[in-house]
Amino acid sequence: MGFWDVVTGRSRPKQANLDALFAVPSAAITLQAALGLTPTGDGSVCYRAASGAGFAGAQNDVIALLRDAENAPDVTTTQDSFGFTWLQIDRPPVSADNPDLTGLCTDLHAVNTTLETNGFGSGLLCSLIPFGSPDGRHVGLVYLYKQGTFYPFAPTGSEQRDNLLEISVRDALGGELPVEKDLSRWLALWGAPGL
């Protein structure tokens, strides 16, 4: 923050660190060991789509980039009831036969970077990586683009969440990821893809 920003009372938003997504594979090992949660293989990026040919071209470019890659994932886009677009990436679940979560993180990074590079970074909201357990628990690891932090979201039903599981995930990952400390930013993502 510069002198003039201090004098006028302005603050600059924290710059997103998209490379933080690459810390998720090691955090996934911690989640599996500590809580029995494994990645589902899915992931998504949520953003407010802009109108115009420039945005449509950037979105089409990133979809084509993902679909043309070797071992290409399934890619779809949907719009939620709030008007936000979810670009969903579906890969095989992480397992003993498919131990690599890095490909999904690379895909999510590519979506965020492409939109940011083309001038649409202000519309990016979050990236989501769902995890599940054999006993039916689900939790999404949410990366807040504008904060540069992660938080867990664990829906249990129609607009209910498992706060104890969310706190357990936060405590398990506190040393591995930049976890959002302000609980008021742990927004509910009802109906998010993959959860």
List pLDDT tens digits, range 125-175. 999 999 999 999 999 999 999 999 999 999 998 889 999 999 999 999 999
Number of domains in the chain: 1
Q: Indicate whether 193 belongs to any domain.
A: no
Q: How confident is the model over 30-54, as pLDDT tens digits?
A: 999 999 999 998 999 999 998 889 8
Domain that holds residue 106: 33-185
Q: Indicate whether 18 belongs to any domain.
A: no
* Model pTM score: 0.87
Q: Output the pLDDT for position 158.
A: 81
The arithmetic mean of pLDDT across residues 55-59, rounded, is 92
Q: Indicate whether 5 belongs to any domain.
A: no
Q: How many residues does the chain have?
A: 195
Q: Indicate whether 87 belongs to any domain.
A: yes
Q: Which two tokens stand for residue 115?
A: 């939109």
Q: Distance from CA of residue 179 to its chain's centroid?
A: 13
Q: Indicate whether 3 belongs to any domain.
A: no
Q: Indicate whether 48 belongs to any domain.
A: yes
> Alpha-carbon distance 66 to 113, whole Å?
13
Q: Indicate whether 150 belongs to any domain.
A: yes
Residue 141: strand, helix, or coil: strand
Q: Which of 108, 52, 46 is nearest to 81 (CA)?
A: 46
The arithmetic mean of pLDDT across residues 171-195, rounded, is 93
The arithmetic mean of pLDDT across residues 108-120, rounded, is 93
Q: Indicate whether 24 belongs to any domain.
A: no
**Dihedral of the CA atoms 188, 180, 136, 37 (nearest 10)?**
160
Q: Output the pLDDT for position 101.
A: 87
